Structure 1
Amino acid sequence: MTDKLPAEYLEFIDKNSKDGFKIYFKIEDWHFWPVSEAVRKTEELIRDNILGKDEFAIADNEDGQYLFYKTNHQPPHNIFMADESFGKPFFTFSIHDFEKFEKTIELVSQTNNQNYKSIDISAIKDHPGSVYWYAFNLMTSPYDDDYSEDLNQYAAELLKEAAEAGHPEAAAELADYYSFQDDIDIEEVIKWRKKSIELGDHDEKYELADFIIDNKPEDITFATSLLEELTQNERFSDRAYLKLSKVYMSEDNGSHNPQKAIDAVNKAIELGNFVAKADLAFYYYNGFGVDKDKKKAMELLIEANKEAKKRMGEEPWNEVIHKLKKEMD
């Protein structure tokens, strides 16, 4: 099993401690195991169906998450993450990102909107993941006292370099940057969302579909195809079905199909999406795709409200329910 591990990982273990060690990375400590323990842990995780047979765990944290390699991947050797509760959310780093993290944070602390052009980032320049994290932390918000369009533009240039060097999260962040401009560059947003997907971040399919629906309706067929793909993704399936329902129920995008809308919203409900239950209530209230039935609408809305309170501590449809009750009295 260990003969398939990247040399850079084995060197990293030797350099730090063969007995295991902890490294703070981004927001938490990661415990890297000795190689022998990593073998044992990997075998356990494969038995528990948390990892696949071609995956090798190297570290964990206190939140039941594990870092692992895909042993059948060719260089560059990305590190992925598995979560005991949520499967495998998208996560890709290299061992160099861990090695360079302290230096990256040091550079962030030294950089401001006055000196950013003079800061020497040669220590991380060849590591896309580190460049991404540096650029991400330089970005300022219009709500910040130190907001700087020039600094943001510089950070965007670095994100572009990291994305072009193969870092998917840099591509996604660059798409976010373009989407928040006063004059949105639609094609740039789409370009970099697609780039992120191409580089492995399939979670970005939802963001891309959502953006196209709102900003480029002539490509609605492409957007729906992305959502259909996401219905097979456990973490996105309920949201994908809910979004498809809205698309198919709309009369403004050329995809109007009430029966498909009802089928999709019911699948979202089956998957536990309480917002979908509220949408179905709306359909019953108006007779969209189903026979108009205000009583059924009320029942569904009350159920959705109860589920929302259970999960979020809030009852978002109280006012609507109150109005509907008055209307039905």
Structure 2
Amino acid sequence: MNSDKKNKLEQAQDRLGLQFPAELFEFIAKLDNEKVLFGKEEWLFWSVKDKQSDEDDNYIVRASLHFKSEWGLDGLVFATNGIGDYLLVMPEELNDVILVMLHETAELKLFSKNIHDAVQNGPAGYSLTDNYFFKIDEHDVVVRSDNFDEVIAGEDADNFWEHYELRSKLDDLIDDEKTEQTSDILSGLEQLIEHADERNKEWALNKLSDIYFKGFGPIPPNIERALEYNQQAIDIGSFKALSNRAACYFFGIGIDKDIHKAFALATEANELSKANNFADILASKPGGGMYDDLVEMIEKEIRRLKNGG
């Protein structure tokens, strides 16, 4: 362990009145390069560049004080991705858990259970879920997610971590088109549908629907089965599933073409999507939803047909 880096970390702990988890402390103290890969994501540990001769040059202190000024919370910020997001721990609240602060949505989400898990498995799939620990709402008030905290601390904690990690793994396998593992993918998705919470169940149903719509490796397209999974996702309130059903009605995929049903479902999906944390980013207009473009496309076709086009 580098003694100079260890001194800088101890200095940060003393100034901030917080203690790094031991394993994370050791990990940072051993770094020789500021660039670290967690899965496919590159994170920058700028404390590696601190000038050892300058007591005031301490990245963790600066970044952590900035975090406290914005969030009013005690935490140790230790890495950034260079585009405004950063990693931190809140040891007094969450022990070894590593959080990611997402600047575009002003949320603190789960990054990994601990540094060992981050190194071995990469991020826990924070972009795939609406779950958060804290967020800054539209009134600039820091809001704590009690439900999320209860899941982490409660009796279902082990199941939560298991399903979270399974979802992240399955998403990587599907995105990377690992068709040789199709059997494992289907088994994992069925496991989430059977045992996971509603958010993960919804995600798994939509993934299975996509697989059977398009085909995947040894699985040929099966529109009837795809629509069955799609309906199950709609039944538990999935706006993504609604938008997919709207597209089916619009193009006449597996069901009779009905442009007015397509418009009604697309509009409903778009309105429901506005509650999603990423709606403002994905919307094509201020105050819009995630499916603005789909609604507009169907509207144009309705006008065209009305005008005898």
- TM tier relative to shorter chain: 0.3 to 0.5
If asked which structure has higher relative contact order (CA below 8 Å, sep 6+), I would say 2
